[in-house]
Amino acid sequence: MTTTTATTARTGSALGQLTAIELRRYAKHPLFLIGVLLTVATSVGRPDAETSGFFNAIVPAAGLGVLGLVAMAAQTRKATRLNRAAGVTPVPERVQTAALALTALLPFTVGLLWVAWAMWAQHRWPVPDNGFPFAPAGDGWTFAALLGEGGLSALGGPLLGIVAGRYLPQRGTAPIVAVLLVAVSIVFQGIFEPLRTIRVVMPFTYWGGPIGVEGDDMRMLLLSGSPGWWAAYLCCLCGLAVVAALWHDPGARTPALRLAGGALVVAAVVTCLLAMFTGIGHTLVNPLPSGA
């Protein structure tokens, strides 16, 4: 018992020290700083008059999420090299991975601050009746959609970067993963009507906007599904990314990790299906034309 307690204490101490080191490194990473600056710059002043903060959601998603994927993959590779150079008693990879996962809370915090700003802006400068979002979308719907688009994307991108850094450590692979992720996400934005129901399988998607209808190509649409369940689904994906990153270390492949991974897979499937088939049942068209 004493040996186990001492080992746990050493592991906890190492995790705390590593997390502090990785946090400092990530906070100084040029890609993270660029993402923060872009997010702040687009949050100064009044947002888009017709879509409020929803027009800006792509900025934290790309700046903190996509760039965060590349930054965290690079940091994971660097941490691996430093760990191997530490000598005959390096820190276990699973502890290092846990420290990197905790570091992802830094961009997530910035993303949450953006969500708070977007919610404030939505009330400070309400959209017009022909804008987006419109009824039946209320504050809860708005918060969940913004949380997924601008908050959880800032967490999921860096966590995916850890996975990429573990399994694809070659230089240049993380940017390729980021580009492919963006390319696939563009297809699932609700522009193509047959894909609107299943678009929620993606870690980033829109919930409406000036998609247009025949005769009015800027008419606001409200897309089907439940952004609340989608946000829950994204949380499951983030958890699965942590499990996948930890799984790279054979010493971490315990029954508890297997159980956690299995439970998250089931939860991800259930929440994704709920995001597809609950909430708003079909695409809604704003009854007022654009420019009215």
* pLDDT digit string, tens, across residues 32-64: 999 999 999 999 988 999 999 888 999 999 999
Counting other chains too, the contacts that 145-148 makes at CB distance below 8 Å and 24 or more residues apart are: 145/54, 145/207, 145/227, 145/230, 146/53, 146/54, 146/57, 146/115, 146/118, 146/119, 147/115, 147/231, 148/204, 148/227, 148/230, 148/231, 148/234
Mean pLDDT across 78-92? 70
The predicted model scores a pTM of 0.92
Does residue 136 belong to any structural domain of this protein? Answer: yes
Q: Where are the alpha helices (DSSP H) in the chain?
A: 2-27, 30-41, 58-60, 67-84, 93-103, 105-124, 139-146, 153-167, 173-187, 227-247, 255-277
| Nearest by Cα to 259 from 242, 277, 281, 243 | 243
Has residue 291 been placed in a domain?
no
Confidence of residue 171 (pLDDT cuts 50, 70, 90): confident
Flag whether 272 is in a domain: yes
The percent of residues above 90 in pLDDT, for the chain, comes to 80
Question: How much is the pLDDT for 1?
Answer: 47
In a domain, 290, yes or no: no
Which residue's entry shows tokens 């929440």? 271
Tell me the CA distances in angstroms from 91 to 3, 77, 88, one per residue in order. Answer: 18, 15, 10
pLDDT for 13: 79
With cut-offs at 50, 70 and 90, classify the pLDDT of residue 3: very low
- What's the token pair of residue 281? 């049942």
Range of 53's domain? Answer: 2-285
How many residues does this entry show for the chain? Answer: 292
In a domain, 145, yes or no: yes
Q: Is 146 among the domain residues?
A: yes
What string of DSSP letters covers 231-284? HHHHHHHHHHHHHHHHHTSGGG--HHHHHHHHHHHHHHHHHHHHHHHSSB-S-E
Percent of residues, the chain, with pLDDT higher than 70: 93
Sign of torsion over alpha carbons 178, 184, 187, 189? negative
**Structural domain total, the chain:** 1
- Report if residue 292 sits inside a domain: no
Bridge partners of 221? 209, 285
